[in-house]
Amino acid sequence: MTEDSMTEDSTTPEMNDETNITTDPVADTGPQEEQLLYAKILEVGMFFGLALLLVTFTLYLTRTLPAVIPIEQLSDFWTMNVHDFLESLNEHYLHQEHLLTGWSWLSQVWKGDFLNFIPIAVLSAITIICYMGIVPVLIRKKDRAYVFMAVLEVLILTLAASGILAVGH
Amino acid sequence: MVTGPEVAWWVWPLVLLVLTFVMGILAALGGVGGGVLFVPIVSGFFPFHLDFVRGAGLLVALAGALAAGPGFLKMNLASLRLAIPVALIASTCAIAGAMVGLALPTDVVQTALGATILGIVILLSVAKKSEYPEVEQADRLSSALGIYGVYTEASLGREINWKIHRTVPGLLLFIGVGFAAGMFGLGAGWANVPVLNLVMGAPLKISVATSKFLLSITDTSAAWIYINKGAVIPMMVVPSLVGIMLGSLIGVRLLRVAKPAFVRKIVIGLLLFAGLKAITKGLGLPFIV
């Protein structure tokens, strides 16, 4: 909690009889510092990720870069469940020891289809970066509860991103 | 239905682009997220496997949330202090939901998806919204965490101070919300808003904006599970994402002249249709389409 929000009286304005609306002025009416910082990082990352996605997809669609799965053959694959898809992908095109799960798509990133995984990963990683960005602000404000929750969220999202949790059918 | 291999490869992505464009318009006008329409309709009527539809659905909902988040945060309509504890629970449970969803047989997930969609139809039909819920006193947990705020209500020409109550029951409900979001790739705006607004007492605008922002965190955790599992096909994701975002832009503009109540009935009708289709498909029963 923030140092200036320790007591309920100081943080919670008086309510009128019928609604959640109050007319009492409060000292701080705008978004807090960490919220604005989060928004700024999110905005930059979102625009970068979406722009990159359009570029990589154009390269894929125009066949500027060859794809692992030829575009004409895609419809043979997207009807399969993900496990059969990965096995078939490996059997027909990759011929690797392990299926293409976790971060192993990085080994195919120069191919048109898997190049698109870079912006998808960027879009999926923005939130982690946003949380990491606000932790120093929360520490400076001695907002211990939110420091704890933000760090925990970073750990949980990083665990999800790590690929350790991927399971099969 | 024509199956995938019998038509040219570009037909389905093109149809997906057009359909998601329409979905984006309907979603914006009907006050629901794109994911809740995307997954049941695309999994029911397209040749794509449910695994990839859920992966694409999460990324579509994620992109929409990422696009809306900065504006809502800057306007102080989305509350970071409200979102952080909620997101911690919802995102953790979304990971579990995604893992379970990818581990279960497809017909089981498809049937459960249909049942969930029909539940959402009931929720959308009967749940009342409250612009400014009555919160007599903030509870101890929300007071301790400093979850309160102020925003400018243009229609009233004044600033609104808000606070919340029933924080613990609200947080507990997000266990189920997060799990369903991850399991079905639905996004979760349909559940976030009622919990934030009706249970926790946040004003409707705060609930809607915080819900949209929340999706950027909840869906991130589940999306990583689908990405790492390989359940992402860019040829499905990108047309869907572009279609939904363009449709949403048009939908917001149409909001001035359209009749949202009528559109909302169309959305509920579509969900009912898609939910029944999902159940019959999951159970292997015949359906009209």
Please give the pLDDT value at position B256: 67
If one counts every other C-beta atom within 10 angstroms of the C-beta of residue A70, the result is: 13
Residue B4: which pLDDT band, with cuts at 50, 70 and 90?
very low
Disruptive mutation site among B2, B3, B6, B9 for chain A (greatest number of A CBs within 10 Å):
B9
Residue at B254 is within a domain: yes
Residue at B185 is within a domain: yes
pLDDT, one tens digit per residue, over B28-72 is 777 677 788 898 889 888 999 999 999 999 999 898 888 889 998
Q: Which two tokens stand for residue B237?
A: 């994701």
Q: Is B152 left (phi over 0), alpha (psi -120 to 50) or beta?
A: beta
Residue B260: which pLDDT band, with cuts at 50, 70 and 90?
low
Are B163 and A165 inside 8 Å of each other by CB? Answer: no
Residue at B289 is within a domain: no
Residues 6+ apart with CB under 8 A from B134: A18, A19, A20, B201
- Of these ranges, B3-12, B87-96, B149-158, B246-255, the one predicted with the greatest mean pLDDT is B87-96
Domain carrying residue B111: 4-283
Are A153 and B91 inside 8 Å of each other by CB? Answer: yes
Q: Which two tokens stand for residue A109?
A: 């990133």
Q: Is B235 on the interface with A (CB under 8 A)?
A: yes
Residue at B61 is within a domain: yes
ipTM tops the 0.90 cut: no
User: Which stretch of DSSP H or E encloses residue B145?
Assistant: helix B140-145
Residue at B16 is within a domain: yes
Residue B89: which pLDDT band, with cuts at 50, 70 and 90?
very high
Please give the pLDDT value at position B190: 83
- DSSP-based helix, strand, coil % in chain A, nearest 5: 65, 0, 35
User: Which stretch of DSSP H or E encloses residue B162?
Assistant: strand B158-163
- What mean pLDDT is reported for chain A? 85
Are B70 and A43 inside 8 Å of each other by CB? Answer: yes
Kindly list the residues from chain B whose CB atom is less than 8 angstroms away from the CB atom of residue A49.
Answer: 66
Residue B289: which pLDDT band, with cuts at 50, 70 and 90?
low
How many domains does the structure of chain B reveal? 1
By CA distance, what is B82's nearest residue in A? A146
Tokens 């159940």 map to which residue? B279
Q: Which amino acid is it at B278?
A: A
| Residue B244 distance to chain A (closest CA, Å) | 13
Average pLDDT of the segment spanning B133-148: 94
Residue at B263 is within a domain: yes
Please give the pLDDT value at position B158: 85
- What does the alpha-carbon distance between residue B179 and residue A19 come to, in Å, rounded to a whole number? 32
Q: Is A62 on the interface with B (CB under 8 A)?
A: no
Q: In degrees rounded to 5, what are phi and psi of residue B160?
A: -110, 120
Residue at B92 is within a domain: yes
Residue at B288 is within a domain: no
